Chain A
Amino acid sequence: MKHSVNRPPTPDGAEDQGNEPTLQEIINIKLIESGEKERLMELLRERLIECGWKDEMKALCRSYVKKKGRNNVTLDDLVHLITPKGRASVPDFVKAELLQRIRSFLMSAAL
């Protein structure tokens, strides 16, 4: 078992290896490598807490669990429950700020 942890990821034979990475993937890797993604995630977490978004999601989850019963709810249920509402209720100013940060990162990384 110890060895399997160090084993490289299993290449899936069905997928062709020759696919060019998409722009999204390139950006993602650049963000991760530079550590910018980590900083953006922290910023996002901070903003979502400040504006009460996290509390609202928590409340949705709580009332759902209350309704269904604690032992009848799975993590997948909760993710399924709050994902659409969560995405839609992110305040515009938060989106704007993050987009601005990503934009300036891309410009500085000269992609």
Chain B
Amino acid sequence: MSSKINGHVSPQPCPHLLVFRSRNGPKPFRALQDCIRVKPPGGRAAIRREPTEVPRCGTCEESSRSRLYACVACAAVFCHAPLLHSHASDHSLSIPGHEIAVDVDRAELFCCACGDQVYDRDFDAAVVLAQTVNATATTSTSGSTAMQCSVAGSQPENLRKRRRVDYRPWEPDSGEHISRGNQSIPLLDATNASLVSSTQQPWGFRGLNNLGNTCFMNSILQALLHTPPLRNYFLGDRHNRYYCQQKNGAINGTKNSRLCLACDMDALFSAVFSGDRTPYSPAKFLYSWWQHAANLASYEQQDAHEFFISMLEGIHEKVEKDKRKSQSPAGSGDCCIAHRVFSGILRSDVMCMVCGFTSTTYDPCVDISLDLEPNQGGSGKSSSAKSLNSFNFEADCMRPNQNCGISTLKGCLERFTRAEKLGSDQKLFCQKCQVRQESLKQMSIRKLPLVSCFHVKRFEHSSIRKMSRKVDRYLQFPFSLDMAPYLSSSILRSRFGNRIFPFDGDEQDASNDLSTEFELFAVVTHSGRLDAGHYVTYLRLSNQWYKCDDAWITQVNESIVRAAQGYMMFYVQKVLYYKESENQGTS
């Protein structure tokens, strides 16, 4: 019935629509397109013969109830309320060829015979065009990361750089063949088989000693040690600390030769994946990180998220020192492994509420910080939940996350990507109006990272009382997550109503048909207060969950994880894709 393009279903026309199109020439909706009226703000498209027309049912004169349809064949307007009366249906039955109508208030096509919405590519394209012409400018904005673009316009260049190639299993080249023979030992043989018997924990599990309130560091390190692309990178010797230190020592002198967080990470991976089960003390790593983040160097408790960001920055800085700075576009991840793994691109649309002009900017991000929903006890939510309950609707509709006020990660993401009206104290400058106007802002994800890190803002700051407090409210998070609804393409699509998005089927951006499914593999939890608390990480390997509490790693049941208070959640893309290597000579 429908075909899938770019992950979105493209509906096939009903028989009546096909007949209509075949009978009315190459542009059957041409006349209708002249009647598209777009009203800012919001840019809603309606069908009116004259701008001031008040549509009215030709049979019963009804004009105040909704769902008025104009017959596309003869332009007569009728009401449609299938349970009471449908003069639109009567009309379609009385005259063959008059089954297709258009909703006058939504500019959406409808087949009165099928009782269902239908879609026409050309008509939908015309509606979207009318709406975007209203909302775009001809001038470009200032700022290095701001990109002026209409929906029909350009996309970030960096996503088209390298073409995708099929996966080929690794084969050692001649150099690797030799070193493999000489230097390597088998992972499993009689002497160390006992270390990796099936009853024991999998490879790479090693407790991390707390060196004095360093659980914030241990928890993040455990998550990073088991972040698949990062783990593969370091275990695959992609950053060799001996080679790096040798190189840096020669260039910078002995002082700078120690400052490479990536080298310290490499050392950490070697230690943790060595097969040794005794707890490891990441003292060297802590010391290196202190040198990088001098302001955080103390034995006081720190925030794990702050550490995470600072660490990624540290890896980026040190690695980029070798290459030319700012050569790679922001968000492409070509600069260092930290960004390759965690960097995505967020899109921000700001629409002027007065003239409808929309300004779009793209910014790279290494994680997404989410607000917890405001106080669950709001009158709006509880009263609507009560009335729904009274209807005895099917059990599967009464999902706890929707109606009983439990916060979910999906709910947070929906709120993150919802169009938000900025308050009158937050007026933004509008290009067209040339003054600050009230605006509507909407976030969406332009490019998904390999690993999505979600950070839950559990720290509430009250400006009145000049203090912060921690929000302990439970947040439900799924083990599998489909990010498709939060992508820019989905968000844009929903902005234009129910239509075929005119840019479906374009092969411009190969990242469109990448899988959007993610799997949870690490959860960093926090217990306690803002100033005195403890971080614990839960890791998932082969669908088995393990609790990493500083030096102690134990296997736990998944229900423990589900009930835990998530602070940072790490999801990895389920399917990986490969691009041609930029450096042809190296692996």
Contact = CB atoms under 8 A, between A and B. Distances in A.
A89 B384 contact: yes
A71 B115 contact: no
A26 B73 CA distance: 30
Contacts of A85: 387-388, 391, 393
B403 to A, nearest CB: 7
Contact of B115 (A52, A75, A88): A75
Interface string B39-64: 10110000001001010101111011
B387 A89 contact: yes
Interface in A3-62: 4-7, 9-12, 15, 19, 24-25, 28-29, 32-33, 38, 42, 46, 49-53, 55-56, 59-60
A74 B76 contact: no
A109 interface: no
Given A51-B378, A55-B402, A91 B58 contact: no
Interface in B393-435: 393-394, 396-397, 399, 402-403, 414, 418-419, 421
A71 B1 contact: yes
A45 to B, nearest CB: 8
A3 to B, nearest CB: 9
B293 interface: no
B75 interface: yes
Given A5-B34, A75-B116, A60 B58 contact: no
A5 B64 contact: no
B397 A59 contact: yes
B110 interface: yes
B34 A60 contact: no
Contact of A74 (B49, B116, B381, B383): B116
B402 A76 contact: no
Interface SS of A by simple majority: helix
A4 B387 CA distance: 47
Contact of A52 (B34, B384, B397): B384
Nearest to B103: A75
B375 to A, nearest CB: 13
Given A6-B49, A91-B384, A75 B117 contact: yes
Contacts of B77: 9
Interface in B12-51: 24, 30-32, 34-35, 39, 41-42, 49
A1 B24 contact: yes
B117 A51 contact: no
B287 to A, nearest CB: 49
A43 B24 CA distance: 40
B5 interface: no
Given A1-B73, A60-B397, A89-B387, A42 B117 contact: no
A94 interface: yes
Contact of B394 (A7, A38, A46, A63): A63
Contacts of A32: 54
A80 B387 CA distance: 18
B74 interface: yes
Contacts of B49: 5-6
A56 B59 contact: no
B278 to A, nearest CB: 50
A77 B397 CA distance: 16
Contacts of B75: 4-7
Interface in B246-287: none
A46 B420 CA distance: 9
A10 B76 contact: yes
Contacts of A59: 397, 399, 402
B63 A25 contact: yes
Contact of A56 (B31, B115, B402): B402
A67 B61 CA distance: 38
B179 interface: no
Contacts of B556: none
Contacts of B414: 55
B380 A50 contact: yes
B114 interface: yes
A63 B397 contact: yes
Nearest to A72: B1
Contact of B42 (A42, A77, A93): A42
Contact of A76 (B42, B60, B116, B381): B116
A15 B393 CA distance: 41
Contacts of B380: 50-53, 91, 93-94
Interface string B358-390: 000000000000000000001111011001100
Contacts of B116: 74-76
B125 to A, nearest CB: 19
Contacts of A19: 61
B64 A28 contact: yes
Interface of A: 1-2, 4-7, 9-12, 15, 19, 24-25, 28-29, 32-33, 38, 42, 46, 49-53, 55-56, 59-60, 63-64, 66-67, 70-71, 74-77, 79-80, 85, 88-94
Kindly list the 9 A-B residue pairs having the minimum CB-CB distance in the complex, ordered from nearest: A51-B380, A74-B116, A76-B115, A28-B64, A89-B387, A5-B31, A91-B380, A89-B384, A75-B117
12 contacts: A2-B31, A7-B74, A9-B56, A15-B59, A29-B63, A46-B421, A55-B414, A59-B402, A64-B397, A70-B2, A80-B83, A85-B387
Interface of B: 1-2, 9, 24, 30-32, 34-35, 39, 41-42, 49, 52, 54, 56, 58-61, 63-64, 67, 73-77, 82-83, 110, 114-117, 378-381, 383-384, 387-388, 391, 393-394, 396-397, 399, 402-403, 414, 418-419, 421
Given A19-B61, A32-B54, A79-B82, 17 more contacts: A1-B24, A1-B31, A4-B31, A6-B49, A15-B61, A29-B63, A38-B39, A46-B421, A50-B380, A59-B397, A59-B402, A63-B394, A70-B1, A70-B2, A85-B388, A85-B393, A91-B383
